[in-house]
Structure 1
Amino acid sequence: MTTDFRTPALDALAKEIIPEEHFTFSAATARDRFFNDTRMLDVKQWVHNAFRTNPTSMIGHMIDHLALTGTEDLLDLGCGNGFILEDLRPHLADGSITGLDIAPAVLQAARQRLHGTATPCTWIEGSADDLSMLGDDTFDRVMANYMIHYVPDLDRCFTGVRRVMRPGGIFQLTTDRTDSMLEMYDAHFAALNAMGAPRDLFKASPKGRLSLTNGADLLGKHFERVHTVTWQDQLRFTSTEPFMRFYEVGHNHCCASSEEDERLTASFFAELRERVQAQVTAAIEARGYFAVTKYTGSFLCQ
């Protein structure tokens, strides 16, 4: 079943509020701040499972398009805490998994999550733009899920993927549209406006660096065939508490608290959360739930 949550009203709102400029963060910031533990990933993963309305999960969507037979050797770039690999592993009963991540804390979590499974697993601490430790024509499948915007050198990363991927293999890169989770950004920007916040906080998701909009052109420089498959979901919250955890911990207040900034005090973020929560509460009272629409998908590259 194909689910379409897009409406003309949401498309018009996206054009009105989503800025052209997006946040950018270094790999070091991702390693040392975002993923120095698993909290951010844990909250996002819990929310996307607990509050989704699409009966097909995003992981199910990924697995469908990887076209696994069970014997493939798979490389997961930015494997995080192994949440996706845990569901994918039974589809590789006679294959192998190699997980690479720049952050030791989440890599250890992945190692523990898949410890003792029959599928052989190898774990590598490193950056996705340096695959020099891996041999040519080593993998049948390569994945990069929601992490490519942190990679310092994209051209070097994609060149490395081509080298380590066997002929006929598939590179699956999953990312968002820049207007994904539009309702959350709408509430966030409205609160910032009411507070007279610094204008440099009004930026789109860092996934704008390589989104579903611009990714095909970037990948087309390195792969002969780039096919885009899309997936939608709508998270629906009938209580403000889980949404606020998603907003504050899972997304660092839409990236506003991602890096230290002496202008942004604890009281600033307390007021920001109060204003966002008030909007979410009003939406729940009016409609019965607060919706966050997810526009995402994958590039399948060969």
Structure 2
Amino acid sequence: MTEPDFRTPELDTLAARVIPGRHFEFSAATARDRFFKDTGMLDIKQWVHNAFRTNPRSMVDHMIANLQLTGTEDLLDLGCGNGFILQHLRPHLADGSITGLDIAPAVLDAARQRLHGTATPCTWIEASADDLSMLADNAFDRVMANYMIHYVPDLDRCFTEVRRVMRAEGLFHLTTDRPDSMLEMYDVHFSALKEMGAPDDLFKATPKGRLSLDNGADILSRYFDQVERRTWQDQLRFTDPEPFMQFYEIGHNHCCASSEPDERLGESFFSELRERVRAQVAAAITDKGYFAVTKFTGTFLCR
């Protein structure tokens, strides 16, 4: 099947104009205590990414193809979240094992419940991805880190530990975005902020800029002999503003603007921000028939 290509010169031009050079940075504690204090953020993202996608192959399909599982592998999932991805991978590991690690107890418990009763042995560990000291050397055939590496405090220690626990013929599977992924969401967000005269420090890109599809190969090649990048695209299309607004507000914390408490930004600020964003999305739907959010994402396969 030929993968769809949503990249256009118009989107490239828009990205050059819209996406800032600076990106947000959040601590592991913020991720644990705010973003993933429950499964709400993950639930919204997973629902929207699947319900509104236009690529027939889901991101999980892309991951399964890249992992090349035979069914007997021992797999470690760093930042396993609520177990959504592991639930889909589990039938491909019928005679293998799963170890899920996450720093946030609430989502880790959700993963445990999601896979409860399956025949594939599952182990759950509450820890940070840069401290794998509880795991033995050469213990895993596959190690995954999907859309979470930007939260890890010490990337050097994390990747060094991944090499230690991964077997000689193993594979490290790291998934992240390009800096201009979901460009249209950032466009309406920044446009609304400008209309409101918002503080300059809110005009930042996604935290995934810390290790993105653009800079990830250079970083990972310091730790792994072979680093291959495989890209994947999708376009979410909304004909009603409300699902997008949930995605924007809950799934992405108003493009990170509400990720941490800020005494300058009260509820009235975010209420006005949402109304301005909603109006732009509704206008696009009226004009084109849908509001598009283009995803430029992919995976590094490291050996």
TM-score (norm: length of structure 2): 0.99
Distance 2:132 2:219 in 1: 19
Name the structure 1 match of 2:207.
206
Amino acid at match of 1:51: F
| Match in the other structure for 2:285 | 284
Q: Is 1:191 aligned with 2:192?
A: yes
Which string of whole-angstrom CA distances, capped at 9 and with x for unpartnered residues, describes residues 204-259 of structure 1? 00000000000001100000000000000000000001000000000000000000
1:2 Cα deviation after fit: 1.2
Q: 1:8-157 maps to which residues of 2 (within 5 A)?
A: 8-157=9-158
Q: Distance in 2 between matches of 1:213 and 1:173?
A: 13
Report the Cα distance in structure 2 between the residues aligned to 1:211 and 1:194, rounded to whole angstroms. 29
2:292 alignment partner, SS class: strand
Displacement of 1:60 in angstroms is 0.4
Q: Tell me the percent identity.
A: 78
* 1:140-165 C-alpha deviation (Å, 9 max, x unpaired): 00000000000000000000000000
Per-residue deviation at 1:261? 0.1
Aligned to 2:4: 3
> What is the aligned-residue RMSD (CA, Å)?
0.3
Q: Distance in 1 between matches of 2:133 and 2:41?
A: 29
1:192: how far off?
0.1
Runs of 4+ in 1 over 4 A off after TM superposition: none
Matched AA of 1:265: G
Partners of 1:4 and 1:168 in 2: CA distance? 33
Residues 10-42 of structure 1 show CA distances to partners (whole Å, capped at 9, x for unaligned) of 000000110000000000000000000000000
Uncovered stretches (5+) of structure 1, i.e. residues with no partner: none
Q: Deviations over 1:51-101 (max 9, x none)?
A: 000000000000101010000000000000000000000000000000000
2:8 is aligned with what amino acid? T
Whole-angstrom distance in 1 between the partners of 2:30 and 2:190: 23
Residue 196 of structure 1 aligns with an amino acid whose one-letter code is G
Please give the alpha-carbon distance, in whole angstroms, between the structure 2 residues aligned to 1:67 and 1:158. Answer: 21
> What amino acid does structure 2 have at the position aligned with 1:88?
L
TM-score calculated relative to the size of structure 1? 1.00
SS, match of residue 265 in structure 2: coil
Equivalent position SS for 1:4: coil
1:275 positional shift: 0.2
Return 5+ residue gaps in structure 2 as ranges.
none
Structure-1 separation of matches of 2:239 and 2:96: 42
1:90 aligns to what SS in structure 2? helix
Counterpart code for 1:8: P
Aligned residues: 302
Matched residue type, 2:248: Y
Number of the residue aligned with 1:240? 241
